[in-house]
Amino acid sequence: MATAVKTKKYVFSFGPNGTDGDASLRDLLGGKGANLAEMTRIGLPVPAGFTIPTTVCTYYYDHDRTYPPELRGLVDAAMTKVEQEMGTTFGDPKNPLLVSCRSGARESMPGMMDTVLNIGLNDTTVRALAEASHNERFAYDSFRRFVQMYGDVVLDMKPKDKEDVDPFEALLDAKKKVAGVQYDSELQAGHLKELVTEFKAAIKKQTGEDFPEDPMDQLWGAISAVFESWMNDRAIVYRRDYGIPSEWGTATSVQAMVFGNLGDDCATGVALTRDVALGTPGMNGDYLINAQGEDVVAGIRRPQRIEESLQSAMPEAYAQLLDIGQKLELHYKDVQDLEFTIQRGKVWMLQTRNAKRTGFAAVRIAVDLVNEGLISKTEALTARRIPADDLNQLLRPIYDPAAKRRAQKEGRLLAQGINAGPGAASGQICLHAADAEEAWRNDPHVELILVRRETSPEDLRGMRVAKGILTAFGGASSHAALVSRQMGKSCVVGCSAMDIDYHAGTVTFDDKVLHAGDFISIDGFTGEVFLEQIEERPSEVIRVLIQKDLKPEQSEIYPRYAQLMSWVDEVRRLGVRTNADEPEQASEAIAFGAEGIGLCRTEHMFFHHIDEFREMILADSLEGREQALAKLLPFQREDFAGLFRAMQGRPVTIRLLDPPLHEFLPQAAQEQQQLAKRLGTSVESIARRVEELEELNPMLGHRGCRVGIVYPEITRMQARAIIEAACQVQQEGVDVRPEIMVPLVGFANEFIDQERIIRQTAAEVFKEQGGAIDFQVGTMIEVPRATVCADQIAAHAEFFSFGTNDLTQTTLGISRDDYAPFITHFRENDIIPNDPFQTIDRDGVGELMRTGVQRGRKSRADLKIGICGEHGGDPQSVMFCHQLGLNYVSCSPYRVPIARLAAAQAVIAEEKTPS
């Protein structure tokens, strides 16, 4: 691959007379170019053309936006080859070749970059095209599209914000009004001819330059525009969101045009070889008769559904398309997203790529493809097939059917669109992406439904902050559908009963007029749109696993989920535990596959008995504290016993008290007064203690083991509660495996101090009870010093658990509570690649972890090591933990399935790239 990228080959042809590239060259040719070559190779009908590789894009930006000197000659030669294959000549006044110029990066970036169609048309060639096709309307339709695209894309006349109007769209609308028609397909040749003249005048007026008549100038203008589009704002945003490096660059494919706008035996369309919302088999998609390329996705006319009407409208073309779809699925062993054009009854392939899908569809399709014998189990588990995070969607709420029926009875069902992204979403109507962004900046918890006629790549940021997306036009392959599926958002498209007035800020359904800010609910499973909010209900997986009110066989998705997860567990080596403080959480986590508790925070328990705990903090003598602690002991013991029972012999890691004491005291005067009354002390003494305990920087203050060291009686009480509970539950016949964890250790002596108290207490309890249980004492590794001195600490500690929240705070010197104002700016300006509190900062925090693992295991070879920070449920971080050789990750119950899958993916990735 590295050699391929370094190659100086600057043009790759594809066509019946020879194809240079293939699917393996996507780094060079982009996904689109590589697959055009591959489809040509496997004998599918693809118009001839050539691809200028990504290396030229890189060269272009490295050399002040200029090209390698030899490129012109190479392009001329490749054009000649295309001319020979098509039997037409570029710019020829009698028999002109037209081409498209298409962007395409290594990873598909749908709609983010530009494409120009019908290049080669001018006042002369348009007449030749009219004569050759015996269709003047077609020729001028193509010409007006070309001038418009050239103006928008190459001459940068596209509207910049929501207030701007596209001059070409305005002229087109005016023309339709004059002609008294609704759709551009109804305009006559004469209208289109006039439009061409008007469009050219608009270009002259806005740019001061004439529309270029020379086809070669047009071609180079388009090539440069495509390379330029790699650096447009929306492409940059998209790359950041999906972690695509800007060094990759885009390729440019130049391809002979085929025409879907020649008449009623012509069409253009997009198709999916299976449903990508739910994963059900069967080709589906959108097509438009007598139209060209962009029309389908742009939502200008409402497209027709392939699965509903193409067979009757164009039986031969339909058969060709089905056959092509099957060949492609077999060849690529995955669901394909196709772009095609039907020219006079013949299907031409213009693009294929692995289809984007919802988490639902990803699971169903991967499992089905294994069961169909197309792919192996390990292949099904790869991150490419099922991004681990997508499992989230299977756990997401849906609308309660009863609540929906009620809403329908109340007349709240507004309309029905196409179900494009599963999940239930209720929220406030928002009509502009920019408004959504602003609302979100003011309140990150705001719940919005972005409602648009259609979406375009400019809306990306707004879509990201919306809870759901609803559009009036477009089908299952429209931009809105595609992007929302990828973002895992609920989405309903093609809701044609809806009338949007952006100026008035209203959305009208028949006689109901809604305003921006009104609540609606969309059901991405069914396509229904409801007025106001609707009660949500758990997903089928949750109902089978957690609520147990649905049998596995009654569910469509659960059996496939279960099959997938059984493969996951065959492959992964990393353990997965959960962070849980209550028996109910623990049981849920077990249902999701957790193998133990990796973090039980004991302070949550104190909040349930806050008065006793406050009494302990307020006591001014050891006796006073011990008296208060004695009251707390039975509560703690019962809580731990509950956890041990729920975990049924699985390991339970219990962290001793971690937060600073002042967090438990009331700050407000009124609350202090009430507390004084309840405890029978004076307000002054409480206020004084609050003041005493106040800290300037609590994150670095008197917390963690530092509290247990100064107040050993707290550690003593907690250790006693744990060991007594363990003894009690063991006597009930349940196996127990407590692991007592000391927080925030930096010095080995801190650990030694606490360990001594814990072991002494345990010995006392065993003596009192005349028995013993196995338990371990270990520590959190959450300050940099602990990672560096891990060998000294591991000489005493039996296990480590990386507390990566604190470790990230203390390593980066960034407070998680204070980073909001600058983190977004940092991310948008590529200062740091990820939010370090979501994904482990491998170079910094990650290296400290590596040091901790190495030094820790140097002094204790069998040291058990886990992680219990938020990162334990982040797929990238889980994979990193696998690479570090940790024994387990621990995360919140609902992320357990995700962590399991990520752990399996880590093994698969390792096998694919042996180090």
818: part of which helix (H) or strand (E)? none
H helices of 648-711, in order, are: 669-679, 683-693, 705-710
Burial class (CB in 10 A: 0-12, 13-18, 19+), 854: middle
Least separation in angstroms between CB 867 and ligand ADP: 40
Size of the site for ligand ADP (CB under 6 A): 18
* Interface residue with ligand ADP, options 58, 88, 115, 218 (CB under 6 A): 115
Give the strand pairing for 490-493 and 468-471. Answer: parallel
Least separation in angstroms between CB 150 and Mg ion: 18
Q: Which is nearer to ligand ADP, 350 or 723 (CB)?
A: 350
* Interface residue with ligand ADP, options 46, 291, 350, 482 (CB under 6 A): 350
Catalytic choice (191, 432, 479, 662): 479
CA angle 810, 813, 818 (to 5 degrees): 105
Q: How much of the chain is in helix, strand and coil states, percent to nearest 5?
A: 50, 15, 30
Contacts of 86 (CB under 8 A, 6+ apart): 47, 48, 97, 256
Least separation in angstroms between CB 51 and ligand ADP: 12
Q: Does 339 sit near ligand ADP (CB under 6 A)? A: yes
Which residues on neighbouring strands pair with residue 421, listed in sequence order? Answer: 491
Q: Residues for the chain: how many in total?
A: 915
Sole window of 133-141, 256-264, 475-483, 906-914 interacting with ligand ADP (rule: CB under 6 A): 256-264
User: 800: closest CA among 906, 887, 731, 720?
Assistant: 887
Q: Does 239 sit near ligand ADP (CB under 6 A)? A: no
Which residues on neighbouring strands pair with residue 348, listed in sequence order? Answer: 341
115 binds, among Mg ion, ligand ADP, none (CB under 5 to 8 A by kind): ligand ADP
| Residue 181 DSSP class | -
Cα 575 to Cα 178, 379, 391, 569, distances in angstroms: 70, 21, 18, 10
Distance CA 233, CA 241 (A): 12
Least separation in angstroms between CB 228 and ligand ADP: 15
Q: Which is nearer to ligand ADP, 100 or 585 (CB)?
A: 100
Structural contact between residues 56 and 66, judged by C-beta atoms closer than 8 angstroms: no
707 binds, among ligand ADP, Mg ion, none (CB under 5 to 8 A by kind): none
* Residue sitting closest to Mg ion (CB): 806
Contacts of 197 (CB under 8 A, 6+ apart): none
CA angle 751, 755, 756 (to 5 degrees): 120
* Interface residue with ligand ADP, options 351, 486, 779, 787 (CB under 6 A): 351
* Interface residue with ligand ADP, options 341, 419, 471, 728 (CB under 6 A): 341
294 binds, among Mg ion, ligand ADP, none (CB under 5 to 8 A by kind): ligand ADP
119: part of which helix (H) or strand (E)? strand 115-119
Least separation in angstroms between CB 782 and Mg ion: 5
515: part of which helix (H) or strand (E)? strand 512-515
Cα dihedral across residues 784, 789, 791, 792: positive or negative? negative
Q: Does 426 sit near ligand ADP (CB under 6 A)? A: no
- CA 710, chain centre distance (Å): 46
Q: Which is nearer to ligand ADP, 58 or 100 (CB)?
A: 100
806 binds, among ligand ADP, Mg ion, none (CB under 5 to 8 A by kind): Mg ion
Q: How many CB atoms lie within 10 A of CB 22?
A: 18
User: 103: closest CA among 9, 13, 230, 12?
Assistant: 230
Catalytic choice (101, 868, 881, 891): 868
Binding site for Mg ion (CB under 5 A): 339, 351, 782, 803, 806
534 binds, among ligand ADP, Mg ion, none (CB under 5 to 8 A by kind): none
* Residue sitting closest to ligand ADP (CB): 293
Identify each DSSP E strand in 454-511 by its residue range: 468-471, 490-493, 498-501, 506-509
Q: Which is nearer to ligand ADP, 117 or 425 (CB)?
A: 117
Q: Which is nearer to ligand ADP, 67 or 287 (CB)?
A: 287
Q: Which is nearer to ligand ADP, 268 or 653 (CB)?
A: 268
* Interface residue with ligand ADP, options 258, 277, 451, 721 (CB under 6 A): 258
Distance CA 573, CA 89 (A): 61
268 binds, among ligand ADP, Mg ion, none (CB under 5 to 8 A by kind): ligand ADP
Q: Which is nearer to Mg ion, 251 or 568 (CB)?
A: 251
Structural contact between residues 448 and 436, judged by C-beta atoms closer than 8 angstroms: yes
Least separation in angstroms between CB 251 and Mg ion: 13
Contact set for ligand ADP, span 288-327 (CB under 6 A): 293-294
Distance CA 470, CA 466 (A): 10
* Interface residue with ligand ADP, options 19, 218, 255, 653 (CB under 6 A): 255
Q: Can you tell me whether residue 571 is helix, strand or coil?
A: helix
Least separation in angstroms between CB 50 and ligand ADP: 12
User: 602: closest CA among 497, 503, 426, 721?
Assistant: 721
255 binds, among ligand ADP, Mg ion, none (CB under 5 to 8 A by kind): ligand ADP
Distance CA 720, CA 736 (A): 15
Which residues on neighbouring strands pair with residue 354, listed in sequence order? Answer: 336
Give me the torsion for CA of 88, 92, 96, 97, rounded to 10°.
60
Q: Which is nearer to ligand ADP, 138 or 711 (CB)?
A: 138
Sole window of 38-46, 86-94, 254-262, 542-550 interacting with ligand ADP (rule: CB under 6 A): 254-262
Structural contact between residues 328 and 350, judged by C-beta atoms closer than 8 angstroms: no
Distance CA 481, CA 493 (A): 7
782 binds, among ligand ADP, Mg ion, none (CB under 5 to 8 A by kind): Mg ion
Least separation in angstroms between CB 32 and Mg ion: 7
Contact set for ligand ADP, span 38-57 (CB under 6 A): 47
User: 476: closest CA among 268, 292, 277?
Assistant: 277
Distance CA 850, CA 858 (A): 12
* Interface residue with ligand ADP, options 11, 117, 370, 686 (CB under 6 A): 117
Q: Phi/psi class of residue 914: alpha, beta or left (left: φ > 0; alpha: ψ in -120 to 50)?
A: beta
Least separation in angstroms between CB 118 and ligand ADP: 9
Sole window of 121-129, 255-263, 416-424, 442-450 interacting with ligand ADP (rule: CB under 6 A): 255-263
Least separation in angstroms between CB 465 and Mg ion: 26
User: 900: closest CA among 879, 870, 871?
Assistant: 879
Least separation in angstroms between CB 147 and Mg ion: 21
Q: Which is nearer to ligand ADP, 98 or 794 (CB)?
A: 98
Q: Which is nearer to Mg ion, 22 or 782 (CB)?
A: 782
Least separation in angstroms between CB 377 and ligand ADP: 33
Q: Is 868 one of the annotated active-site residues of the chain? A: yes
Q: Which is nearer to Mg ion, 329 or 337 (CB)?
A: 337
Structural contact between residues 409 and 387, judged by C-beta atoms closer than 8 angstroms: no
Amino acid (1-letter code) at residue 915: S
- CA 520, chain centre distance (Å): 24
Contact set for ligand ADP, span 72-111 (CB under 6 A): 100, 102-103, 111
Q: Which is nearer to Mg ion, 148 or 804 (CB)?
A: 804
350 binds, among Mg ion, ligand ADP, none (CB under 5 to 8 A by kind): ligand ADP
Q: Which is nearer to Mg ion, 125 or 484 (CB)?
A: 484
Least separation in angstroms between CB 384 and ligand ADP: 20
467 binds, among ligand ADP, Mg ion, none (CB under 5 to 8 A by kind): none
100 binds, among Mg ion, ligand ADP, none (CB under 5 to 8 A by kind): ligand ADP
* Interacting residue ranges for ligand ADP, rule: CB under 6 A: 47, 100, 102-103, 111, 115, 117, 255-258, 268, 293-294, 339, 341, 350-351
Residues labelled as active-site residues: 479, 868
